[in-house]
Structure 1
Amino acid sequence: MTLRISLRDGERMVVNGAVVRATGRVNLCVENTATILRGRDVMTAEEANTPARLLYFACMMAYIDPDNAARHRDAIVSRIGDLMGALESPEAKRVCIAFAQKAALLDFYGALTDCRWLIAYEAEAMARIPAAAE
């Protein structure tokens, strides 16, 4: 199955661990299995500053750095325990469990989708904290 990707000028993506940057508008067709992550889905270590973001970063690293997957899986297990303990919403817990199931099956790309939901949930929950304190 062919994956079609369009990149804008200057947009980056990771392909099998290599960072690729488009010069000009580019349309790519990937015709075999590859580890691909678009630049907007890449998180830096500095951006991993909340429990959900730390989980995303560990999962992203497991996905783009399979040679060190065991180390990254250990980080995922540690981070998911921290996050599950902090969640109160049944829906958030379900998403966290879905994330854990995908990560256990080494579907790190699919797990990243669940983790993006958790990041948005976490940001919304954190935004409510100052309003409750007033």
Structure 2
Amino acid sequence: MSLKISLKAGERLFVGGAVVQNGQTPCDLLILNDVPLLREKDILNEDEASTHCRRIQLCVQLMYMDTPNLSGYQKKYAQLVEELLVAAPSTAALVAEINHHLAFGQYYQALKSAKRLVAYEEELIRHVQSA
């Protein structure tokens, strides 16, 4: 099954370890096999990982994008999740969802679940700040 990606002029894309940048005009790419793929706008940079859940998202993203170093990211992820569950037990269902995807090697789906965890964290922070 192929995946069609439409890129804007100058837009970058991470494809299986390579960063691809589009030229000056929009284009369509067909990805014909299963490889890690993220648009530049969806990539969380290390300096943006300023909260606990964002650091978890970064670990999951790196598991997806940098498989040669998977075991190191898995260890860091486990540590972060353990700390999170102690500090915020209400995140357990979201963490379980991420863990389910990771257990089956579904890193892209795990990354989407990690983004939901970050959204939940942001909601908790807004609630605390408004109280």
**What TM-score does the superposition give when structure 1 sets the normalisation length?**
0.90
Aligned position for 2:2: 2
Is 1:79 the counterpart of 2:80? The answer is yes
Using the alignment, how far apart are the partners of 1:48 and 1:75 within structure 2?
14
Correspondences of 1:1-134 after superposition (within 5 Å): 1-23=1-23, 24-89=25-90, 92-132=91-131
CA shift, 1:35, in A, is 1.2
Partner of 2:57: helix, strand, or coil?
A: helix
**2:10 is aligned with what amino acid?**
G
Using the alignment, how far apart are the partners of 1:72 and 1:97 within structure 2?
17
Q: Deviations over 1:22-53 (max 9, x none)?
A: 12211011111211111121011000111110
Partner of 2:79: helix, strand, or coil?
A: helix
Using the alignment, how far apart are the partners of 2:58 and 2:70 within structure 1?
13
Residue identity (%): 29
Where in structure 1 do 4 or more consecutive aligned residues deviate above 3 Å? none
Query: In 2 relative to 1, CA 80–88 (structure 1 residues): closer, same or farther, beyond 3 Å?
Result: closer
Partner of 1:78: helix, strand, or coil?
A: helix
CA shift, 1:88, in A, is 4.2
Number of residue pairs matched by the alignment = 130
Q: Deviations over 1:34-75 (max 9, x none)?
A: 111111210110001111100010111111111111111111
Q: Deviations over 1:74-106 (max 9, x none)?
A: 1111111122223243xx421210101211222
After superposition, the CA RMSD in angstroms is 1.3
**What TM-score does the superposition give when structure 2 sets the normalisation length?**
0.92
Gap runs ≥5 in structure 2: none
Gap runs ≥5 in structure 1: none
